[in-house]
Structure formats: structure tokens, C-alpha cells
Structure 1
Amino acid sequence: MINVSEKTVVKTPATGGALESAQGRTTIADTVVSKIAGIATREVTGVHSLGGGAARAVGALRERIPGSSTNHGQGISVEVGEKEAAIDIQLVAEFGVSITDLAAGIRTNVINSVERMVGLSVVEVNIDVQDVHVPSEDDSDDGESRVQ
């Protein structure tokens, strides 16, 4: 499982985080941050899919149901405080991609997206690489074997 650092996020009541100004208060639900983080993670080249094995299986079944939509928060868990957010991401990487570069790219994209869209400071983005996707011969388009 993902290690939690010494940085903590003060959790507010079930409504999520709050942004206050003289004109009023804005609350951000955890699901909003998780969707933004999920979309930002999928944008990074080298991410095959999000979530652990069970989450991916449920997601694949969900996508086969007519009229259903993709769960953009799959594989993402967040803690949203009044001014800060912490994000944990589970993913499957593409084979051949530098995992350290992939993690750095994901962190940058997620932090920029969340901070820009919701105004919360992202204190940490923990990434748990669950597996590496290796393209099988079934995925090739040419239908020819490499060895003859």
C-alpha cells in the first residue's frame, strides 16, 4: 500500500475542502479532486491504466454496460482539507517507460491541474505502480511472427 508521509491534511466535514473569501465560501468535494487527478494522470504518456487489479476488472465491466461512463477517479484516492489536498494514485505503466520519469511527469501534471482548477495546494502525490503492461502478440496489427 502507499506510504503516508509526515505531511497531513486536516480533514473537514463530509462536504470536502473549503475556499473562503469576502463574497462567500466554496466547497470542493473529494470526488472533484479525484476526477481531476485521474484525468491529469491519464494524459501522461506511459500510463496504461489506473487502479489495482480488482478496480480495473470492475471498470472494464462498467464500460461494457450501455450508457455507462468511464470512472475518471478509478485508482485515485484523495484527502481534501480546507486549503490542501493529498493524492494517492495506483496505476499500471507501459513497458519500456522510465518509471521515475513517469512518476515525475504525473506529479507535475496532477499538481498543476488540481492547483489551477480548484485552488488547493497539493502537499503530496503518492504513486503506486501496481504492474507493467507488456504488449502481447495479440495486440500487434501485422499478424506476423517476429521469428520465422
Structure 2
Amino acid sequence: MTEQKQSTTNEVARTQADGPLVTDQGRTSIADTVVAKIAGIATREVSGVYDLGGGTARAVGAVRDRIPGSRTKMSQGVAVEVGERQTAIDIDLVTEYGVSIADLAAGVRSNVTSSVERMTGLEVSEVNISVHDVHLPGDDQDAEPQGSRVE
């Protein structure tokens, strides 16, 4: 083999072994919060996802949303473990009523995996999904005030 061809072969083998985040020019590390934010946004993009997080996280989020100037925390309901080449993602969500939970989970897994792998270069080893609640139509409407029973 020629020297240039051997060098290219070694570089390809190294990139496949170490992943795209480790090169001869240096190493790229990605924070857990970056992966969690990407996964949260990708989850919200899937039709049928009403909200992210368990009951407590959603309650805190509702309070935060009422504060002027605050923004929705995109990583709410998402926990990740990030290694050098792989990441594992846990997602807590609320689904819309009438949506097939199995189909929703498959769609979320697919969208999260493709988004995280495309944006970070990390391999997604698993996406675990916990459905905490089902959002019913009319849940968001404030109860109609009832008239006083006494005068």
C-alpha cells in the first residue's frame, strides 16, 4: 500500500473506533445539558406529546412560566448519561388522549435518536420513555365559576 493510502486507512479506522468526536486535531466533549436540550426539543416535535416531565416537574414549570421574562426549560423531563462515544436518554412525558402510546414511543425514540446522533455525533444506546399521564381535552380550561349558593 502507498503511504498516503495507508494514512487514510488508519485515519478512517481511528475515526470509526474513537468516533467523530476524537480526531488528531483534538477531542470534543458534549455536556449532558446539551444532549438533554436536543432530546427535549426532539420529543416536543412529535405529534401526540402534550408535555414533558412528571407531576412535580410540570408544576414547577407552570410556576416558572407565569414569571414574566422566563422561558420554558427545554430539557424538563429529560435525563441523560453522556459518555465519550455513547449516550443514554430517559424521557418522562404526558401524552394526548387518544394517541397510541406504543406508536408515540416509537416516534419519540426515532426522532430523538436521529436528532441527537446527527447534531452531536454520539451514538444513542437507548431511549427509555415513561408516560406519566394522559392529557384530556378540556383539562386546561379553568373550571367555570359557580354562582354562590347563598345570597
Spell out the pairing of 1:1-148 with structure 2 (5 A cutoff).
Answer: 19-136=21-138, 139=141
* RMSD over equivalenced CA pairs, Å: 1.4
Q: State how far apart, in whole Å, the 2-side matches of 1:70 and 1:79 are.
A: 22
- Offset of 1:65 from its aligned partner? 1.1
Number of equivalenced pairs: 122
Q: State how far apart, in whole Å, the 2-side matches of 1:89 and 1:36 are.
A: 12
- Offset of 1:20 from its aligned partner? 1.3
DSSP 3-state at the match of 2:124? strand
In structure 1, give the amino acid aligned to 2:79. Answer: S
Identity value in percent = 69
Between stretches 35-44 and 63-72, larger displacement belongs to 63-72
Q: Structure 2: where are the runs of 5+ without partners?
A: 1-19, 142-151
In structure 2, give the amino acid aligned to 1:76. Answer: V
Larger radius of gyration: 2
In structure 1, give the amino acid aligned to 2:38. Answer: I
Q: State how far apart, in whole Å, the 2-side matches of 1:23 and 1:67 are.
A: 41
Q: State how far apart, in whole Å, the 1-side matches of 2:21 and 2:132 are.
A: 34
Q: State how far apart, in whole Å, the 1-side matches of 2:41 and 2:78 are.
A: 10
| Structure (1/2) with the larger helix percentage | 2
Q: State how far apart, in whole Å, the 2-side matches of 1:89 and 1:60 are.
A: 18
TM-score of the pair, normalised by structure 2: 0.78
Q: 1:63-122 CA distances to partner (integer Å, 9 max, x unpaired)?
A: 111111110000000000000000000000000000000000000000000000000000
In structure 1, give the amino acid aligned to 2:82. Answer: V
